[in-house]
Structure 1
Amino acid sequence: MSTDRLARRYRRLVRAYPSGPRREELLGTLLDAAPPGRTRPTPAETLNLLRYGLRAHLGRPGSRWVVVAAALVAITLGYAGAAFAARATWNAVPDLPSGAGLAEITGTVFTGLPVEGARSQDGLFLDISQKSFAEQLIFGRDEDFEYATYEFGAAGGYYVAGRYRPYTDAVIARMEADGWTVRDVWPTGNTWIATGALDESGRAFWATRDGLSIEFGANTISNSDRMPPGSFYASAILTRLPPWYVTAASIAGLLLGALLGWLLTGWVSRRTERATPGARLAGHTTATLALMITLPQTVIGLIGMVTEPLVLDPPIAPFWSLSLTYGYGCVLLGFLLAVITMVTAAWGGGRDAAVPTDAAKQGTIESARGAPEP
């Protein structure tokens, strides 16, 4: 019974290797070498099987550059997978509050005052350009793509009678009593050029509750030429925060995309290993160019993905927004070059080097058992 359980677990692990007789040979060797009573692979065996199994997909056993290329492609497609998964999951996120729910929020911030406000755009994302799908596919989106907001304040120009400091303190107290968590409070105003000191003329804070964000600001300099005497300007911006399941979907998309990138690199590598010099040069050139033009925004996007849930600031745009705006031309060109690479590998490549030599088989078996790979 224990041998059957061990065999099932080994069989799942050897699937990390390309399909073929290598799997069964490796499985048999692992079972023969296992001591009596063992029911599961050791951590070292698991790590080695996954490590060398993924390496076997790349072919070219004497090359280190293919590993570097596979890692870069995995990072790039991992980011693409994270971006697609995040955007798709946003379709399940509730819209900004409306009706009684919105009135409860605005009434807490501006208690006893008539309130007016406007949404930057319907839905959860702002895209003023309103391009058609075909235009977005060809040209991408405009630079103003970001999270949609609802800005509101006291009716009649967002002016409130009184002093901004005690009013801001009262708003914070009301919101905390209503379940909001105030994340930060800071002074606002102009900075003296000579000294760098802040000439305070207002206060602002950021608060969150139930996946929503409010940034509140009160000051005496906005629209000061039209401000009634004894008043100050106050407004609040309501935004939807990225929920935890969007972050979870991003991580899942990252892992799946990275695995796909590694396997695609392996397929192209094995197909072009025995290709004609012209096909090999064409495939390598287009793949290198695709990586060169997509890696910068991939790195920026991944940094944004990591910092988005951690930064204690109101969100402005999703981590993948750069790929739809400023970097979209690189995304499109990189995708086209990647397609050319795969077509070159499919039509101009040689036989897929999936069947290993006897020496390669023996080296794989020894490496899976923990010995250095020859």
Structure 2
Amino acid sequence: MTAHWGYRFLVRAYPAGPRRDEVLDTLLALGRRAPSWREAANLLRHGLRARLGRPASGAVVAVALLVALTTGFFAAALSTRAAWEAVPDYPSGARLAEITTTVFPSLPIEGGRDEGRVFRDPTGDHQWLEPFNEDFAYAGYSFGPAGMYVSGDYRTWFGQARQRLIDAGWTVREEYPTGATDIASGLLEPSGRALVAERGPLSLHLETTVDVVDTPAGEFYALASLNRWQPGWVTAVGVVFWLLGGLAGWLVIGWASRRTEAVGGMARFLSAAATIAALVFLTPLTLLGVIGFVAETWRFDRPGQPFWSWSMVWGYGCNALGVLLLITALIIAVAGGRARHEEQIGPDPRFHRSGPI
């Protein structure tokens, strides 16, 4: 009898060897036709666990999870960075003029976008081996009145600008006062207002204030900036590559674990030590990336830094050191370990029957 193709695919979660063949033969003998969702999850869970070897060790599972999360993070960062190259640029011509004149009608306007099509780095330093400035962020388009200032009361003008944006199809997500905080009382001393609005793929931040030095009497400073939300398809690319990168990391750490399992002495110790040291440097970076990815996906704040921005400045080289240590651990496993077919963990026997007991 020929096993269902789904079983043949699922048992590949096990490393090549006698145990994989044994699991498939068992399914054949039991006459299973197609895997249920519970059987699929069971085979994948035990198969991937078997790839780590060392059945009695729980530490290897924790290490593999952290490595998988980290490699997934880097894969998602690289893939979304590449995907952003296909995201449409800011509007221009009449479309841009419609936005700028909605905010500043009847005023001469000056504006410009940050250097860099997708991201800006205020230091101007784009060398791979040097950390970027902590202000590394998405490139935006800023615009304002040619003379920097607008005549009148900022409160009245701001309310009118807000209504103009709403009438033009913008949704105001947030509005708040700005100003200095009184040291004695801790209360805000309002001297301006700001808002964040969105329309389609664009986010608009508008701020007014009278706090700018040399602001003429009876006038106020005003500035607006456009940013782009991360498109949903870019987020989907990130999720897919995070999963693929995590799977690749799990498989590699499993291969290294099995290769060094039977090896004692210095090679095994150095490989494990290098991996753990790498995770000390990289795990905080990865966790920050997870938080940033969720925030960027759910639009908790106006677009600013990409979810992987900390990888550019983390510890002034700690991220590079962590990657180097992971590579070192892999090299040690290749050079000092030896492959063998270990005793592997099989799937839960309850799922070899027609259903769970």
Normalised by the size of structure 1, how large is the TM-score? 0.88
Q: Give the length in aligned residue pairs.
A: 354
2:130 corresponds to which residue?
139
Determine which of 16, 25, 29 is the counterpart of 1:28: 25
2:239 corresponds to which residue?
251
1:211 corresponds to which residue?
201
Matched, 1:262 2:250: yes
Matched, 1:18 2:18: no
Question: Is contact 2:177-2:194 (8 Å) kept?
Answer: yes
Matched, 1:104 2:95: no
SS, match of residue 183 in structure 1: strand
Tell which deviates more after alignment, 190-199 or 313-322.
Answer: 190-199
Find the aligned partners of 2:43 and 2:198 in 1 and give their Cα distance: 46
Question: Is contact 1:163-1:230 (8 Å) kept?
Answer: yes
Question: Is contact 1:29-1:365 (8 Å) kept?
Answer: no
Find the aligned partners of 1:130 and 1:231 in 2 and give their Cα distance: 34
Deviation at 1:194, TM superposition (A): 2.8
SS, match of residue 297 in structure 2: coil
Deviation at 1:63, TM superposition (A): 1.4
Find the aligned partners of 1:19 and 1:253 in 2 and give their Cα distance: 25
Normalised by the size of structure 2, how large is the TM-score? 0.92
Question: Is contact 2:42-2:347 (8 Å) kept?
Answer: no
Deviation at 1:21, TM superposition (A): 4.0
Matched, 1:9 2:9: no
Q: Deviations over 1:217-265 (max 9, x none)?
A: 1122223x242x3222111111112111221111112111111111111
2:187 corresponds to which residue?
197
Alpha-carbon spacing, 1:179–1:296, altered in 2? closer, same or farther (3 Å): same
Matches for 1:120-199 after TM superposition, within 5 Å: 120-131=114-125, 136-156=127-147, 158-199=148-189
Output the aligned Cα RMSD: 2.2
Matches for 1:1-374 after TM superposition, within 5 Å: 7-34=4-31, 39-131=33-125, 136-156=127-147, 158-223=148-213, 225-227=214-216, 229-327=217-315, 329-350=317-338, 352-353=339-340, 355-357=341-343, 360=344, 363-364=346-347, 366=349, 369=352
Find the aligned partners of 1:197 and 1:349 in 2 and give their Cα distance: 64
Deviation at 1:276, TM superposition (A): 4.1
Question: Is contact 1:81-1:257 (8 Å) kept?
Answer: yes
Q: Deviations over 1:253-307 (max 9, x none)?
A: 2111111111111011011112241111111111111111111111112111112
Alpha-carbon spacing, 1:312–1:47, altered in 2? closer, same or farther (3 Å): closer
SS, match of residue 54 in structure 2: coil
Deviation at 1:34, TM superposition (A): 4.3
Deviation at 1:356, TM superposition (A): 4.4
Q: What amino acid maps onto 1:297 in structure 2? A: L
Find the aligned partners of 2:123 and 2:184 in 1 and give their Cα distance: 41
Question: Is contact 2:71-2:249 (8 Å) kept?
Answer: yes
